[in-house]
Amino acid sequence: RKEVEQDPGPFNVPEGATVAFNCTYSNSASQSFFWYRQDCRKEPKLLMSVYSSGNEDGRFTAQLNRASQYISLLIRDSKLSDSATYLCVLYGSSNTGKLIFGQGTTLQVKP
């Protein structure tokens, strides 16, 4: 079983839609979680960290459910510029910062 699993999509949504992605992880000892964004043929960039209490950054909301070992990302009022691959990421080792990546979920926002 992969350490981090995501539905690869693609998710095709119209502008203005609300879309949610989930990600599950296998290691219950994992402590730190993130969402990264990767545009086509570009490097990944940190979108937001995921906190136990949930956190929001503008149109983006991240949630963590430790009991069920899943993380979610909600995007409200989707923009064309949100089209990208969203990577669910956690620390493989909090001491080193080694990151474990999911395969990513592709979002395509259509006009």
Looking at beta carbons only, is 17 or 91 nearer to other proteins? 91
Could you tell me the smallest distance in angstroms from the CB atom of residue 110 to other proteins?
Answer: 23
Could you tell me the smallest distance in angstroms from the CB atom of residue 101 to other proteins?
Answer: 4
Looking at beta carbons only, is 18 or 52 nearer to other proteins? 52
Binding site for other proteins (CB under 8 A): 4, 32, 42-46, 87, 91-104
Residue type at position 6: Q
Could you tell me the smallest distance in angstroms from the CB atom of residue 5 to other proteins?
Answer: 10
Query: Strands (DSSP E) along 1-111, which ranges?
Result: 4-6, 11-14, 19-25, 33-38, 44-50, 55-57, 60-65, 70-75, 84-93, 98-101, 105-110
Looking at beta carbons only, is 25 or 78 nearer to other proteins? 25
| Sequence-distant (≥ 6) Cβ neighbours of residue 73 within 8 angstroms | 20, 21, 23, 35, 47, 60, 61, 62, 86, 88
Looking at beta carbons only, is 18 or 94 nearer to other proteins? 94
